[in-house]
Each structure stands twice: as structure tokens, then as C-alpha cells.
Amino acid sequence: MSPEKFVIMRHELLLTAAALMVLIVEVFSHPDKKGKVITLSAICFGLITVLGLLPSPEGELFGGMYITNAGRLMMKNILNIGVLLVFLQSADWLRRDENSEKISEYFVLMISTLIGMNFMISSGHFLMFYIGLELATIPIAALAAYDRHRNISAEAGIKLILISALSSGILLYGLSLIYGTTGSLYFGEIATVFRGSNLQLLGFIFFFTGMAFKISIVPFHLWTADVYEGSPINITAYLSVISKGAAVFIFIIVLFTVFPVIVAAWQKVIYVTSILTMTIGNLFAIRQQNLKRFLAFSSISQAGYILLGFIGGNQLGMASVIYYILVYIFSNLGAFGVVLAISNASGKENVDDYNGLYHTNPKLSLIMMLALFSLAGIPPVAGYFGKFFLFTAAAEKGYYTLVIIAVLNTIISLYYYLLIVKAMFLLKSDNPIEKFKSTWYTRFALGLCVAGIIVTGFASGLFELIRNLSFGI
Amino acid sequence: MVNFGYTIWILILPFLMFLLLGLAGHKLKPKLSGLLGTIGLGIITALSYVTAYKYFFTSEKVDEAFQKLTAFNSVWLQLTENLHIDIGILLDPISVMMLIVVTTVSFMVHIYSIGYMHGEKGFERFFAFLSLFTFSMLGLVVATNIFQMYIFWELVGVSSYLLIGFYYTKPSAVRASKKAFIVTRFADMGFLIGILILSFNTKTFDFITLTSLSGPAITQTGGAAFMGLSVLTWSMIFVYMGGVGKSAMFPFHIWLPDAMEGPTPVSALIHAATMVVAGVYLVARMFPIYSIAAPDALEVVAYVGAFSSLLAAVIACTQTDIKRVLAYSTMSQIGYMMLALGVSGYGGHDGLGYMASMFHLFTHAMFKALLFLGAGAIIHAVHSNYMTEMGGLRKYLPITHATFLIACLTIAGVPPLSGFFSKDEILTAALHHNKLLFAVEYAVAGLTAFYMFRLYFSIFWGKERHYHHTPHEAPLTMTVPLMILAVGSVFSGFIPFSKLVTSDSRPFESHIEMAVAIPSVLIGLVGIFVAYIMYSKETAIPDKLATTFKYSYKWAYNKFYIDEVYLFVTKNIIFRYISTPIAWFDRHIVDGTMNLIALVTQLVSFRIRGFQSGQLQKYGYVFVTGAIALAIIFVYLWK
């Protein structure tokens, strides 16, 4: 490969190099000094994130299996920012004694999944897509079982791997049907010969099922709550934000470039599933006491809102989806960051435990409030603008009923988000969470989240930038 | 072309100061935060003076007229192709003049407050709010478009609210701050409606486009009429409504006297010199539209101004709280400014009223700030607001006495102090336009001299009261601003306003009209003389007068019961017949619907909990069933 080709693939190559380097450092470092792997990985990944932001040429590799352009690069960068936040938030937790042996595994596995996601986003061929998908899924199962001595964590790993095998099977079946009827796996070629016969529709539905599993769309979401609850909190955060975001990115690309012919069909599918997803997600979220489970269901309903951006098939829709994922990364990771910090300090994870948090830890409470407001879409924080654009995109194409249902759902979601705010600020507790000081890593990560929640909301140029890189059918 | 790019710092610095003092103030020593705020404002003041010098003396003029310069502009919200909201800085004669007024008074008040607020709880909070106010006020005066002006207009409202309620543990202060906020907010609703109608018809927010003689507002003659007035006139009347609220004109003046609950420096800065003249500034800013395209609206401005000034002057004669007397005096003087705008024409010597209004705004800012700060020094010395508890203070407070006397003479219009010049121009403009309004203002001039000297004689002459401790002169930080403002009050009358700030930005010749000047000085002297007879020594005349005109005195003393009328209307009519039914609807229908949704949601979420069983085989079952169901529905059934 010529040097320019390296530049084109620099995200994947840099990440691979980083993963290998972490492994090598691990081998040669003293068992008592494993902690420095954390610093090294964080710095290294920070550098990669910054390097990724540099402009890069567009192009194709491997005969069109690998495609990159400014829009896809931006998606990768957004994921990078999210992963950086997750790394920063995990530092304290990784320093615990029980994790000291497997610090580098954490980074290697996580970077591997990120490589998978990057390949998935850059794919121009269903095989490349599938390899990326698996690379992005299987290591996560290992990560979910990271606390392998806790039964619940092991259970989460098993559940994830089994369900993902099932979904992969269905997805592959769908792909084989598409291949059988079109004779190609290249995105571009399929799009030219795809006509939407029943068999092809069936193939599409199965493909949709596979993606629905990754994005946890109802009724393919059942694994979510158990896996989210069982996994360590940072893995849950990773699953709910990065993994979901990557799947959303590639899904919208494939829908818009491969299946524009059957747009009427997939609009119906998305119409129904998005209503189901946001409603069911909300209904379950209301009843949750465990914050991880709570955030799991809230993230399911968030996926429902995101589908609203898909449905119009317009450029505004794609832009609003990408923008929403960016906002969602900051907001959800902000919420998870606080949950993680508190869980690390006190081991408490239930809503009741947060009673009176404001009196002991006012800063954390304020960050949590900001993040929850953003998730609920209260102006003027970023989440509001995110939802606003998503709903606008759907309304522009005349899906008023859907928008009204979505707005009703945001009202319901407001209720349970505010329950936590109420617990933190209004309720009193005899046994509140002790006052504690977070470490530099956590503070930095949470600071970034807060800045992100505020800045992405107010910087109107950002949305314009995303919009210029988006496309419609 | 002179470069004014640096003027953006005039806006940024006070905001930074607010953030610094607001966020980190409690960590600094109070003295340091006061000093920081004052130094910051000193820099801003210096920048403003440099800007004024450069603008008036070195910037390029076209056809003798000062140009409107956009020193900075940034598009904030792009609504449509043409309609966008910008944040920027517009320099023209009136905005540059206002920069001088705002920064000078604010600087004086900052210095004064170091002494006055010494030892108060929340010292740094006070300075943070002062910075916020200064920022908002400066943003208001340099606004390039009416929407930016509206934003900062609300911001000054907020800072005024915060500062009136500075003593937030005092119920009367809290009530007053709420009252000020609600009354002005109500008026601002009119302002917003006006902005929307105006911008809907002209498709722009921009001041330069709006006030340009060939702009859409002035050239568009058409438009539907409503009740005999054109849409444009209506929009300008609505815009004026905002000005009426902020400038405490009748009928929205009721908040201003109560606002005196705030610390005295705040009253001097916000409720005398700067924020309350925002309404005048608003009309002046849109003056070409008022004058050329909406003369009926301008007529409203004139009559509201004249009526308010008379009403306030009469009330001021009966009040005993010295700050309230000054508050009504402020309302009366702003009435003068409004009236002057109302009787003014556009361009050349016709624009005499406009020039006079701006002139009076400038001189008034100096002498009224001086009066308030002087009142602050007096209150500081005797710990009371009531002139009935004062008397014979001239021996104890020599500097305050001298400066207060200068201010009283200035407001009474005694030549050659500044008030004489500006008031004379206003009366001249009124005489040429409308004899009735002239007569009203002439009477008000006499009343003004009377009530100011009533105040002066009762405080500094008359019988000495029993004081808790011997009153003492205020510290240097408080007396130095008094002296500086006194100098300003004496000499600012000699500024050739007709060469600098005029309706069409072109200079014209103005001269003192003896036919107006001599009678107006005479009536001022009469007012002073009457006050001297009645109040310089303890006499029975005031009481006798009060009993003779028992009813009218009582009416005026109770501010013509306007507050009570408002209370009656809100409590017995609005609350009972409008709010109560709405509240019922809200409580039963709206809340009922919401409760129903909540109930159904809870019920459903309880019913479906079985889905989430935790059993993997069940999950797989649902998964596969889901995929098949989707396939059947979307491939075969609903195609």
C-alpha cells in the first residue's frame, strides 16, 4: 500500500497500533506498576482522537470494500470522543485491586471493538460490514463478563454472546438472501439492481433485525436490561452510547445508500418499531430502581427517538441523527460518569440512595441534573436541540402523528428523569452518600461532558457542519 | 476611517467582571472584589471616553452628518434568509453619548459603593450585580438591532430586580423587586408585540435599515389600518409601551417609588440616571420612524410624558421619604424628556426637541445621580429616610450640603447651571409646538423648584432633631464622587449638544430664547422662595395648607390611589373573573388529563413487566418471533 492509503485508513491503523502497544507494555511492565498502563492508554488515545480530527483525503481501498469520506470520518471522530470519555471515567475503577491484573485487557478489548466499529462505518461491502460488526460485538461480550467473579457479570456476558449469535444468524441469513437475489455484496451494486421483490424484502427485514439488536429496538431489546445491569458500569456506558451510536451510523448509511428503492417499506417498519421502542422503553424505565437498569431502559427509548431521524430519508434527518448521537454521548456519559463515581465511592446504585445527594455532593448533583435535563430534552441544553432537529426532520416529511407520539413519550420520560433530580435535590435521607472527592480523571471526564452538553447546544455552526456532510436519499 | 473594533471590550469586560465576582467573589476579600469591580469599570469608562472623543472629533463625516457605524457584528440566529438576530455594536451620536452617561455614573457609583456598602453582607455580590447591570445597559445602548435591544432590555430588568431585592431578607425589598419586575415585564409584553408587528411588516430588525429614510418602515405607506391608525403606528405605540414601563411613565410608574427599597447607590445608578431613561433612549433610537411615519404615536409619547411629569411633580410635593421625593422627581424629569421628543420634528432646527431631550437626559443623569448619592450620604449619617426626622444638617455635612445645594439649584433651572440650559431648550421646543403642553411644563418647572427646595430646607435648615449620634460627614470614597458629579452638573450645560447630538446627526445653531428663559427662571425662583418661607424655619404654614386642602392633599399624599386601583383591578376583577376559572380548568381538566395518562402508564408498565423475565430462552423466543412477525407484517400484509 502506498503512504496515502495509510492516511486513508489512519483511524483503524492507529487504533491497531495502540492496541498492540498496550499489550507489549503490559508484558514488560512490573506487576505493581500496572497503573501506568491507564495513563499511557488515556494519553495515547487522546492523541489518536486529536489526530483523527485532522482533515484527511477521501477514497476507497480493497476494491471498494473500504470507503472513507468526510462524513464517515466525522462519525469515527464522534465515537473517538465518546471512547475517550469512557476511558477517562474508567481510570478509578481500573485502579481497584480486583482489576489490577486485567487492566490492559480492558483497553485492548475496547480498542478492538472500536476498530470493528470503524471498519463497519467505513464498509462499502456487506462482508466488510459483517466482519466489523462481529469485531465490534464479540469483545464486548468479554468485557461484559469483566467482573467474572460476580455471577451477574458472567451472566451478562453469556446472555450477550448468545443473543448476538442468534441475531448474527438472522442477519447473515438476510444478507445471503440479498446476495442470492442481487448477485453482489457491494453496497453500490446492490443498490442498482435491488427492486424490492418479496424475497429481497425478507432479506431486508432480517438485516433490519440484526441492526435492531445492536440498537436495541423493541422487540429485539430484551437482552439490554440484563446485560446493562450485569456489566461493570463503564461497559454499560460503552454499550449504551458507543456501540449503539456506531450501529446507528452504519444503519443510516446502509438505509440511505443500499435500500433507497424500498424506502416506502422501511419507513413503515421504522414507523412501527420507533413507536414501540420509545413507548416500551419508557414504560419499563418508570419502574426501575437500579440506576443502571434505569439508564438501560432510558437508552432504549432514546433509540426510539433516534429512529425519527431515519424515517424521512432526508438530509436533515441524517444530520439530526448524527448530531443527536453526539449530544447523546455527552449527556449519557455525563449521567453514567456520575453513577460510576458514586458507585466507586460508596457502592450504591439505587435511586433511593441518591436522596439528599445535593447536600453532600452538590457538584455531582448539578452535573447529573444537567445530563438528565439534556436526555429529557429541556431547553436550553444540547438535548433539547437534538430532539428538536429529530422531530423537525420527521415533521418535515409529514409524520405528524409520529411526532406527537414522540412528544408524549418525552413527557413521560421527563417524569422519570425528574424523579432522580427530585431525589437528589428535594428528598432527605438519613443515610446519604458521604461527601467524597473525585480524582482528576473523573473530574476531567465530567468537565468534558458538561462542556459538551452546553457547547454542542449553543454552537449553531456545529449542526451546520454536520448537515453539510450529511446526505439524503 | 477610524477603527472602533476595540469597542467590543466595552461589552466583554463588564461581563467578565460579573463572572469573576459572581463565581469567585466569595473567595476574594470583600475589599478586593470591590476594588476589582471599580478598576474594571474605570477601564471601561476610559475606553468609552476614548470612543466618544474619536467618534465626535476624528471620525469621518459625510455631508456634515455623523455616520452610524457598525463597530462589530455577528449573526447569532439565522431565522430566514433576510430575518436574523445579530449581536453587535452600533455607534452613533446617541449611543456614544449614552456610553459616556452610563460609564460615568456607573463608575461614580462603584467608587461611592465602596464606602456606602462597607461592611454589608454580600458586598461582592453587590459588585457582581453592578457589573451585570453595567454590561446589560451598555449592551442595550449599543444594540445594532431591536431584538438585541430587547434581550439586553430584559437583562437590565433582571439586574434591576436583583439589586432592588439586594436586601433579600427584608420583606418590603422582596415585594418591591417583584413589583418592579412584574410591572415592567407586563409593559415589555407590549414591547415584544410591537417588535413582532414591526419586524413582520418590515422584514428586518436592524436599526440602520429601520431608521433609514429610504428604509421599509418609513417608505411603506400602505398596510391595514386598525381603529384609524396604521399598523406601523400601532406597532410603534406598542414599542413605546415597553419604554413607558422601563421609564416609569404613567400608568406603569407604580414600581419606581417602591424600587427605592434597594441600596441608595443602586437607586442612583439604575433608577435615576441610566435604566429608567432607557425608554427615552428607545424612542430616540427609533425617532425617524416616530417622527416621519408614525406622528400619531409620537403624539402619544408627548402627552404621556407631559401628564406623567405633572402627576409626579404634584405627588413629590407631599412625600416625606427623601428617596421617594427623588423618585417622583425622576419620573417628572423623564416626563420632560419624553415630552421633548414628542414635540420634536425631524431634521435641522425642527429637531430642537430631540436635541433638548438628549441634552436633558445627559444633564439629568449628572444631577440626579448627585442628588441620590447625596441622599445616600444623608441617610448614612442619620439612619433615616424621612425628612421629618432631619433638620439643621448643614453644619454636620458640609460637603454633602454644598453638592446637594448645587444639584437642587441645577434641577430648579437656575442659570448658569446645566439644568437651566437643557430645560430651557425643552420649554422652547414645547412652546413652538403645543401651547398646552408648554403651560403644563411651565407649571411643572415651578413645582420642581418648590419640592426640591422643600427637601433641601427640611434637611439642612429648619429645627435640629434629636439624633442617635452626632451626624458625621461621609468618608472620602463617598464625597469624591459627589464632588465630581457636582462639577459635571455645573458645567455639562456648556456642552454644545446642538453640534453633536441631533435628530438627523447634522449640527444646527441653537440659542437661548429669552422669552422663554426669563419666565422659566422666574418661576423657578418663585418656587424656591415659597419653599424658603415654608420650610427654612419651623412654621405652621405647611400644616395649615395641608388642612385647608385636606382632600386634595390626601389624594396627592397617597399618590392619587393609583396603586390601590391596580390592586383592586387585579384582585377583584382579574383574579376573580379570569384567573379563578383558568385555575379551575388547569386543576381539573389539564391536570386530570395528565393524571389519567400517568395512571394508564403506570398500569401498563405494571402489566407488561413479565416480558423482562431474565430468562434467555424467552428472550430468544421473543427475538425470533419478532423477526418472523416483522417479516409477515411488512412483506405480506402491509405492503
With an 8 Å Cβ cutoff, is B593 touching chain A? no
Asked whether the whole model's pTM tops 0.90, one would answer no
> How many CB pairs below 8 A link A and B?
81
pLDDT given for residue B639 in this prediction = 67
B611 touching chain A per CB within 8 A: yes
- Determine what percent of chain B is predicted with pLDDT higher than 70: 97
CB contact under 8 A, A219 and B636: no
Specify if A472 maps to a domain: no
- What is the mean pLDDT of the segment spanning A161-186? 93
Residue of B nearest to A287 (CA): B605
Q: What is the pLDDT of residues B61-94, one digit of tens each?
A: 877 788 888 888 887 766 666 777 888 899 988 9
Instruction: Check whether A331 has a pLDDT greater than 90.
Output: yes
Cross-chain residue pair B605–A268, CB shorter than 8 Å? no
Q: Is A43 exposed, middle or buried (0-12, 13-18, 19+ CB in 10 A)?
A: exposed
| Confidence category of residue A297, pLDDT binned at 50, 70, 90 | confident
pLDDT of res. B201: 83
Taking 80 as the threshold, does the pLDDT of residue B371 lie above it?
yes
Write the CB contacts of A411 (distance below 8 Å, at least 6 apart in sequence). Answer: B597
3-state secondary structure of B79: coil
- Mind listing the pLDDT tens digit for each residue in A50-92? 888 888 788 888 888 899 888 899 999 999 999 999 999 988 8
Q: Which residues of B touch A411 (CB under 8 A)?
A: 597
Query: What pLDDT sits at residue B279?
Result: 92
Compute the distance between CA of residue A113 and CA of residue A117 in angstroms, rounded to an integer.
Answer: 6
Contact call for A283 and B605, based on CB within 8 A:
yes
Instruction: Report whether pLDDT(B522) > 80.
Output: yes
Determine the pLDDT at residue A61.
84
Cβ-contact A463, A380 below 8 angstroms: no
ipTM > 0.90? no
Taking CB atoms and an 8 Å limit, are A284 and B630 in contact across chains?
no
Q: pLDDT band for B223, please (50, 70, 90 cuts).
A: low
pLDDT 10s digits, B595-631:
887 788 778 777 776 677 778 888 888 888 988 998 8
pLDDT at B400 over 60: yes
Q: Does B634 touch chain A (CB under 8 A)?
A: yes
- Mean pLDDT lowest for which of B85-94, B191-200, B500-509, B532-541? B532-541
Region of residue A197 (left: phi > 0; alpha: psi -120 to 50; beta: else)? beta
Q: Considering chain B, what is the average pLDDT of its residues?
A: 86
Task: Give the pLDDT score at B616.
Answer: 84
Contact B639 A415 (CB under 8 A): no
Contacts of A309 (CB under 8 A, 6+ apart): A252, A317, A318, A320, A321, A324, A389, A390, A393, A394
Contact (Cβ atoms closer than 8 angstroms) between residue A371 and residue A334: yes
Average pLDDT estimate for A152-159: 90
Closest C-alpha among B483, B440, B411, B426 to residue B314: B440
Q: What confidence score (pLDDT) does residue B281 get? A: 93
Whether A232 maps to a domain, the answer reads yes
In a domain, A473, yes or no: no
Query: In DSSP terms, which residues pair with B85 in a beta bridge?
Result: B77
Does A12 map to a domain? Answer: yes
B62 touches chain A (CB under 8 A): no
- For the segment A100-125, the average pLDDT, to the nearest whole number, is 91
Q: Which domain holds residue A49?
A: 3-467
Percent residues over pLDDT 90 in chain A: 47
Model confidence at B555: pLDDT above 80: no
Least-confidence region, from A10-24, B200-214, B537-551: B537-551
Best probe of the B interface among A151, A168, A205, A290, by most B CBs < 10 A, is A205
How does the average pLDDT of chain A come out, rounded? 89
CB contact under 8 A, A284 and B601: no
Q: Is residue A419 part of a domain?
A: yes
A280 with B608: Cβ contact below 8 A: yes
Nearest-by-CA chain A residue for B618: A222
Q: How confident is the model at residue B3 (pLDDT cuts 50, 70, 90)?
A: confident
Find out whether B255 and B179 touch, Cβ atoms under 8 Å.
Answer: yes
Please indicate if any CB of chain A lies within 8 Å of the CB of B494. no
Number of domains chain A contains: 1
10 Å CB burial of residue B382 (0-12, 13-18, 19+) is: buried
- Looking at the partner chain, which of A159, A205, A272 has a beta carbon nearest the beta carbon of B631? A205
Spell out which chain A residues touch chain B, with contact meaning CB-CB distance below 8 angstroms: 158-159, 162-163, 166-167, 170, 198, 201-202, 205-206, 208-209, 213, 219-220, 222-223, 225-226, 265, 268-269, 272-273, 280, 282-284, 286-287, 408, 411-412, 415, 460
Q: State the best of B613, B635, B636, B637 to mutate against chain A, taking most chain A CBs within 10 Å.
A: B635
Please indicate whether, in this complex, the C-beta atoms of A163 and B619 are within 8 angstroms of each other. Answer: yes
pLDDT range class, residue B302, cuts 50, 70, 90: very high
